[in-house]
């Protein structure tokens, strides 16, 4: 049996105060200062991951820095903390390490971390892309959106996940808009897509401008704060939020009952998995990035699989094939951690139809 570990971290200081009551009395800035000096932690042991072909087990290990610290502290300091957490995974017996949330984003997206560890490393981004696209296509179909005719937008398009999402979507749609802050990178990506697929993608740095006409949105920025607000979206839009921390404001869920927001990359894990840790999902469900580490352990592919920012379509296809072999599959829709039954999707579709009819 090959064993794995997956690295997590608190998204904000609130995660610490909710878990440790004594910390509620500390100002967030003081709490984050203390966290800079905490050692990495073994959070839990993960058991029961079993496919028709193999089984595996592993651990959650935590790097005690918040998302804001990961972005704002010196990069070399943050990477050293991630490496130190990876060495904890090594000492536990893991053979492959998955990098979760911001630990997969900072620096060179895992390359330096892998060079400083004696175990394999993966960010999980390949399977995240595969599941996000599958879920988005299914959600669009349920909302009555024909993808080839739809206005499709990728927010955060020049990141590793966003770029390969855009390349895959360009094979299936004709009206594609790419959004990111760096215009030079947008121009290069649009050129690659034109060469690969013939699709001439629009580019813009303005999220609001792009979303005004969007039917389908995949959003995957590395922003610490939310970037999509309720007033940006048109009735009937489908938004797949792949980013952690989230890109979509909770105000969208509160104020827009005519758009469908789904969490990207949520999958069912085969076997009788017990994470021994509550990260907000029901038993048996996991983020796709976690699942990628499990899939590689089950398959015995103890190798650096997804690293850096040049994710390829071939990597996405490969991990998707291995996931199917071992029984992983996209879970039903969830939105802000809550399940979205088909009846709710139908109600959203009907409200959007009425709103659009009134606007004509």
pLDDT band at 164 (very low <50, low <70, confident <90, very high): very high
Q: Is 19 exposed, middle or buried (0-12, 13-18, 19+ CB in 10 A)?
A: exposed
Domain extents for the chain? 3-125+268-330, 127-266+332-359
CA distance 296 to 303: 8
pLDDT tier for residue 297 given thresholds of 50, 70 and 90: very high
Q: Helices 288-299 and 125-142 sit at what angle, rounded to 10 degrees?
A: 130
Say how many CA atoms lie within 13 Å of 98 toward its Cβ. 27
Residue-wise over 138-147: b if at least 16 C-beta within 10 A, else e?
A: bbbebbebeb
For 238, the token pair is 């489908």
Query: What letter does residue 230 receive in the DSSP assignment?
Result: G
The whole-number pLDDT of residue 29 equals 79
125's tokens: 């981004």
Answer yes or no: are the C-beta atoms of 145 and 216 closer than 8 Å.
yes
pTM of this structure? 0.85
Q: What is the pLDDT of residue 325?
A: 98
Q: What is the pLDDT of residues 45-97, one digit of tens each?
A: 999 999 999 999 999 999 999 988 998 999 999 999 999 999 999 999 999 99
Tokens of 155: 């927010």
Distances (CA, A) of 83 to 6, 16, 57, 63, 130: 13, 22, 21, 9, 27
Q: Output the pLDDT for position 334.
A: 87
Which fold does the domain 127-266+332-359 belong to in CATH?
Answer: Rossmann fold (3.40.50)
Residues in the chain: 360
Q: Are 42 and 88 in contact (CB under 8 A)?
A: yes
């Amino acid at each position: 049996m090959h064993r794995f570990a997956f690295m997590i971290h608190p998204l904000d200081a609130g995660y610490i105060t909710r878990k440790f009551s004594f910390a509620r009395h500390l100002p967030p800035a003081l709490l984050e200062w203390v966290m800079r000096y905490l050692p990495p932690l073994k959070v839990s042991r993960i058991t029961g991951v079993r496919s028709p072909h193999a089984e595996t087990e592993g651990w959650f290990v935590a790097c005690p820095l918040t998302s804001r610290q990961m972005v704002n502290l010196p990069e070399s300091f943050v990477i050293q903390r991630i490496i130190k957490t990876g060495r904890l995974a090594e000492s536990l017996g893991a053979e492959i390490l998955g990098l979760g949330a911001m630990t997969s984003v900072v620096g060179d997206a895992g390359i330096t971390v892998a060079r400083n560890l004696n175990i394999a490393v993966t960010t999980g981004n390949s399977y995240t892309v595969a599941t996000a696209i599958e879920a988005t296509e299914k959600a669009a179909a349920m909302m009555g959106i024909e993808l080839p005719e739809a206005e499709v937008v990728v927010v955060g398009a020049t990141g590793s996940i966003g770029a390969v999402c855009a390349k895959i979507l360009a094979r299936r749609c004709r009206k594609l808009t790419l959004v990111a802050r760096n215009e030079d990178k947008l121009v290069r990506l649009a050129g690659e897509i034109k060469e690969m697929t013939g699709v001439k993608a629009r580019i813009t740095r303005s999220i609001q401008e792009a979303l005004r006409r969007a039917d389908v949105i995949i959003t995957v920025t590395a922003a610490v704060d939310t970037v999509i607000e309720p007033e940006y979206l048109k009735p009937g839009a489908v938004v797949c939020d792949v980013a952690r921390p989230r890109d979509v404001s909770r105000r969208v869920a509160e104020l827009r009952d005519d758009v469908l927001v789904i969490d990207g990359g949520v999958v069912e894990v085969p076997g009788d998995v017990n994470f021994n840790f509550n990260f907000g999902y029901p038993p048996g469900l996991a983020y796709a990035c976690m699942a990628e580490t499990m899939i590689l352990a089950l398959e015995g592919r103890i190798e650096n699989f997804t690293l850096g920012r040049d994710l390829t379509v071939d990597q996405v296809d490969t991990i998707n094939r291995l996931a199917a072999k071992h029984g992983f599959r996209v879970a039903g829709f969830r939105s802000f951690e809550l399940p979205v039954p088909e009846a709710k999707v139908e109600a959203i579709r009907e409200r959007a139809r009425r709103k659009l009819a009134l606007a004509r």
